């Protein structure tokens, strides 16, 4: 508390009366509450700074004066009713050494966020931390804090995120933790109190010590969206996987990789209906792969490598989405390598038409032909190696021998002829009857089709010319959608290349039929189609119109011959043709299109699946956003906007907590896509390292991150790449409100050209962040 000087002013009073006046006034001053202004907060912060060691204080050199909201590093403020107040303290990975004893949190009544992640703070957590009534985010992970939790910490009634992994805190966790929605910590065992967290949707247990995964009480908490129990430096989770996992029906990411889990994979995992990402690799699991995996209709990635699994691959995996739902399976990654699987590869895997990555190597698959789909045909030689007896059209496999029928004995042939002759006579009569019935039914169907087509005339009217003629032309040009015209398969339909009689070449997306066979609100559907056909932007794939018929419904787009950006980046030769200037133009084109969708369309259009597979290029390498609005079009009045949508690796992290889709989700996906373009591959773990400000990542040279297939950019290209890298990192901010809008991104890409502080090969990622 700051020193106070009391100067009493008394006229014609003796000393005793002077004393009597001074004493109660002093008591009154002592009883006054401490200052809560930004000036008082500055004094508290400066006092804490002075208590840190001599190496830490220069890191806070901007902390001078009495105005913390004026460019003090790590401090953020907001204008509130009573004036400007400190709302965020973020000094993660600053290398601070000292304690929290001298930081009086009582002077920060409006503080929302404390992030002191990855420093060297020791001692205990002070009691005053409980005097933060508005705190929602507390991250003290990877310090050297010890002792027990101060009881006042559980007074933080608004706290949603609590991360204290990598400390030495011990003692009992009280029941008050049950109000939190996100908990991440290191602890000798999983505390029973976690089971009280009825609102918990995210749990990460990393850096723990020999946790035995028996029947943890947290399975009472069925709201989970993410469950990470993966190996870290001190982790060794062992025991079987509990059957109770099947109770977590909202979980869509389950990662138990790199531990010592043993026993069979429980069949109950097949009940986790929302599961999209399953990783159980690098354990000691044994037994067969459960056939119940076929029930996981939303599964996009399954990785089981390096276990002791045996038996055959269940055919049910090829049925992850039943055909009556009309959608191809979403499974994109299938990794069963390094196990003891036997038998043949089930033909049902041929239904996984969206499969992008396949690994079955180092098993004992010893018989049979591989499925006839692209993922098998284009698999690298290592993906199927060390399996004896496989054959088919793939690199490194021998061709399958032609089937040789077993010769029948002469006596058997004679017996077969007698049976066939007697059957043919009967069947001939049946065929005549059936033929007559078919002709009759066809005439009836034509009669019924005419009113159906007339009923759907309002949908055909979307075209600027005769919709019925367009429908017939497309049917004829594709020979009733023959597979030889198919150029791609997506989540909502198959895409065909069509040459119309007008010499125009278009792309036709034939939609899978809806489960109920009908569009739920034809009027709203028509209105939305009309709106999309009126969109005019050079970086958005043009939608020409829509055709509806009892047998087929399809959308018609302009055809872009350049293919997808993902295909180009995955090609060694194709990536080299996409030089730095072309890549910068692709990024600008995508930014311009998203800015148009978010800010110039009414209502705004949110894509929800920005990824390299949905960016198409023309022959001039101009970028065009594709596949937007399809989900919304199929159900225009649907309220199911919070269901899982998008591509793993591109989705914004807040979807794991709120599932609230808005424009900032597209901004995050754009940041991932931008890094992918300049790196030549998906950024992967680099994203989490950048957002956590990991020291080793920030010291990494920018040149080591860029696509090594191209020479280092120079001059103007170097300035372009530097600006793009800075904007991409800003788009990946973990707090959605801190991300720029796409309008800001588009404007910055058009105008901002950062000055090179040094030659490009000397610039680190940390310097890019600070530009």
Q: The tokens of 254 are what?
A: 């389950």
Who contacts 348 (Cβ-Cβ below 8 Å, separation ≥6)? Answer: 315, 316, 317, 318, 319
- Dist CA 418 CA 606 (whole Å): 68
DSSP output for 149-183? --GGGGG-TT--EEE-TTSEEESPPPGGGGG-SEE
Q: The tokens of 694 are what?
A: 């990991």
Tell me the pLDDT band of 119, cut-offs 50, 70 and 90.
very high
What are the residues facing 113 on neighbouring strands?
A: 88, 137
Tell me the pLDDT band of 629, cut-offs 50, 70 and 90.
low
- In which element (H, E) is residue 286 found? strand 284-287
- Dist CA 517 CA 457 (whole Å): 18
Q: The tokens of 195 are what?
A: 């089971």
pTM of the model: 0.51
Report the 3 state secondary structure along 649-665: CCCCHHHHCCCCCCHHH
CB atoms < 10 A from the CB of 401, how many?
8
CATH superfamily of 571-771: Transferase(Phosphotransferase) domain 1 (1.10.510.10)
CATH superfamily of 451-559: Phosphorylase Kinase; domain 1 (3.30.200.20)
What are the residues facing 342 on neighbouring strands?
A: 364
- Dist CA 671 CA 411 (whole Å): 74
> What is the chain's Cα-based Rg?
33
Question: Is the predicted pLDDT of residue 405 greater than 70, yes or no?
Answer: no
Nearest residue to 356 (alpha-carbon basis) of 252, 196, 213, 488: 488
pLDDT score recorded for residue 213? 46
Is 398 known as a binding-site position?
no
CA distances from 372 to 2, 570, 762 (A): 79, 22, 49
Question: Is the predicted pLDDT of residue 128 greater than 50, yes or no?
Answer: yes
CA distances from 711 to 351, 584, 678, 714, 751 (A): 41, 15, 12, 9, 25
Q: Specify whether the CB–CB gap between 491 and 328 falls below 8 A.
A: yes
Question: Is the predicted pLDDT of residue 95 greater than 50, yes or no?
Answer: yes
Q: Specify whether the CB–CB gap between 41 and 77 falls below 8 A.
A: no
**What mean pLDDT is predicted for residues 273-293?**
86
For 335-367, give one letter per residue: b (16+ CB within 10 A) or e.
Answer: bbbbbebbeebbebbbbbbbbbebbbbbbebee
- In which element (H, E) is residue 438 found? helix 410-455
Q: The tokens of 130 are what?
A: 């409980």
CA distances from 378 to 121, 370, 374, 572 (A): 52, 12, 6, 15
- Dist CA 355 CA 526 (whole Å): 33
pLDDT score recorded for residue 315? 67
pLDDT score recorded for residue 685? 81
Q: The tokens of 193 are what?
A: 């109190």
Q: Which residue numbers are catalytic?
A: 609
pLDDT in tens, 147-168: 887 888 877 878 777 787 778 8
Q: Specify whether the CB–CB gap between 271 and 294 falls below 8 A.
A: no
Question: Is the predicted pLDDT of residue 252 greater than 60, yes or no?
Answer: yes
**Which of the residue ranges 1-15, 487-501, 516-530, 604-618 would you say has the lowest mean pLDDT?**
1-15
**What mean pLDDT is predicted for residues 324-351?**
70
Q: Which residue has the higher pLDDT, 402 or 509?
A: 509
Question: Is the predicted pLDDT of residue 451 greater than 70, yes or no?
Answer: no
- Dist CA 446 CA 465 (whole Å): 24
Domain borders along the chain are 6-34, 288-399, 451-559, 571-771
**What mean pLDDT is predicted for residues 96-110?**
93
Who contacts 441 (Cβ-Cβ below 8 Å, separation ≥6)? Answer: none
Question: Is the predicted pLDDT of residue 676 greater than 80, yes or no?
Answer: yes
Q: The tokens of 467 are what?
A: 């919709």
pLDDT score recorded for residue 14? 40
Q: Specify whether the CB–CB gap between 341 and 313 falls below 8 A.
A: yes
| 288-399 to CATH, choices 3.80.10.10, 3.40.50.300, 3.30.565.10, 2.30.31.20 | 3.80.10.10
> Most distant CA pair in the chain: distance in Å?
142
Place of tokens 């299938």: 334
- Dist CA 664 CA 331 (whole Å): 26
């Amino acid at each position: 508390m700051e020193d106070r000087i009391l100067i009493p002013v008394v006229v014609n009073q003796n000393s005793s009366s002077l004393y009597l006046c001074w004493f109660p006034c002093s008591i009154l001053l002592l009883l006054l509450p401490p200052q809560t202004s930004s000036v008082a907060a500055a004094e508290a912060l400066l006092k804490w700074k002075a208590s840190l060691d001599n190496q830490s204080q220069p890191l806070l050199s901007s902390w001078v004066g009495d105005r913390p909201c004026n460019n003090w590093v790590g401090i953020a403020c907001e204008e509130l009713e009573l004036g400007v107040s400190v709302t965020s303290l973020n000094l993660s990975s600053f290398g601070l050494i000292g304690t929290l004893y001298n930081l009086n949190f009582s002077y920060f009544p409006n503080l929302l966020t404390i992030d002191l992640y990855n420093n060297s703070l020791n001692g205990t957590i002070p009691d005053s931390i409980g005097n933060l009534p508005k705190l929602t985010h507390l991250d003290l992970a990877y310090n050297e804090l010890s002792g027990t939790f101060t009881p006042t910490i559980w007074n933080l009634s608004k706290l949603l995120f609590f991360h204290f992994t990598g400390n030495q805190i011990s003692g009992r966790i009280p029941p008050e933790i049950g109000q939190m929605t996100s908990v991440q910590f290191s602890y000798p065992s999983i505390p029973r109190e976690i089971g009280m967290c009825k609102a918990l949707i995210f749990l990460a247990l990393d850096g723990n010590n020999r946790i035995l995964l028996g029947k943890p009480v947290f399975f009472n908490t069925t709201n989970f969206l993410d469950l990470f129990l993966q190996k870290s430096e001190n982790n060794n989770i062992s025991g079987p996987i509990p059957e109770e996992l099947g109770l977590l029906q909202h979980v869509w990411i389950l990662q138990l990789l790199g531990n010592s889990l043993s026993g069979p994979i429980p069949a109950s995992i097949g009940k986790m209906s929302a599961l999209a990402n399953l990783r159980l690799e690098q354990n000691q699991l044994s037994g067969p792969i459960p056939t119940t995996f076929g029930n996981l209709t939303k599964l996009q990635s399954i990785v089981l490598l390096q276990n002791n699994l045996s038996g055959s691959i269940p055919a049910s995996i090829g049925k992850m989405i039943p055909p009556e739902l009309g959608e191809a399976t979403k499974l994109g990654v299938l990794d069963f390598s390094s196990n003891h699987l036997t038998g043949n590869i089930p033909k049902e895997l041929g239904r996984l038409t969206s499969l992008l990555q396949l690994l079955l190597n180092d098993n004992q698959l010893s018989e049979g032909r591989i499925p006839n789909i692209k993922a098998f045909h284009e698999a690298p030689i290592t993906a199927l190696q060390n399996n004896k007896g496989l054959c088919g059209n793939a690199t490194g496999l021998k061709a399958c021998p032609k089937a040789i029928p077993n010769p029948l004995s002469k006596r058997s042939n004679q017996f077969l002829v007698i049976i066939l002759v007697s059957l043919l006579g009967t069947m001939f009569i049946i065929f005549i009857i059936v033929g007559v019935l078919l002709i009759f039914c066809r005439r009836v169907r034509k009669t019924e089709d005419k009113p159906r087509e007339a009923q759907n005339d309002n949908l055909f009217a979307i075209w600027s010319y005769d919709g019925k003629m367009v429908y017939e032309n497309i049917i004829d040009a594709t020979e009733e959608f023959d597979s030889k015209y198919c150029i791609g398969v997506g989540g909502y339909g198959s895409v065909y290349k069509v040459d119309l009689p007008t010499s125009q070449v278009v792309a036709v997306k034939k939609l899978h039929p809806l489960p109920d066979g009908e569009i739920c609100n034809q009027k709203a559907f028509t209105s939305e189609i009309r709106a999309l056909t009126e969109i005019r932007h050079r970086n958005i794939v043009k939608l020409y119109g829509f055709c509806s018929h009892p047998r087929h419904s399809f959308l018609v787009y302009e055809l872009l011959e350049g293919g997808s950006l993902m295909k180009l980046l995955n090609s060694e030769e194709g990536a080299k043709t996409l030089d730095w200037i072309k890549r910068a133009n692709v990024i600008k084109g995508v930014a311009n299109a998203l800015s148009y969708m978010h800010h110039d369309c009414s209502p705004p259009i949110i894509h929800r699946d920005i990824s390299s597979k949905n960016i198409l290029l023309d022959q001039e390498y101009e970028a065009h956003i594709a596949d937007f609005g399809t989900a919304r079009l199929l159900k225009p009045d649907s309220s199911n906007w919070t269901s899982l949508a998008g591509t793993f690796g591109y989705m914004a992290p807040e979807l794991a907590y709120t599932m609230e889709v808005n424009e900032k989700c597209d901004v995050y996906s754009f940041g991932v896509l931008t890094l992918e373009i300049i790196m030549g591959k998906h950024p992967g773990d680099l994203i989490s390292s950048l957002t956590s400000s990991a020291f080793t990542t920030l010291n990494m040279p920018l040149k080591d991150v860029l696509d090594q297939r191209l020479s280092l950019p120079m001059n103007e290209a170097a300035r372009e790449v530097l600006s793009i890298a800075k904007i991409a990192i800003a788009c990946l901010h973990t707090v959605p409100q801190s991300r720029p809008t796409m309008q800001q991104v588009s404007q910055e890409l058009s105008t901002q050209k950062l000055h090179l502080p040094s030659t490009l090969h000397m610039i680190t990622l940390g310097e890019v962040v600070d530009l």
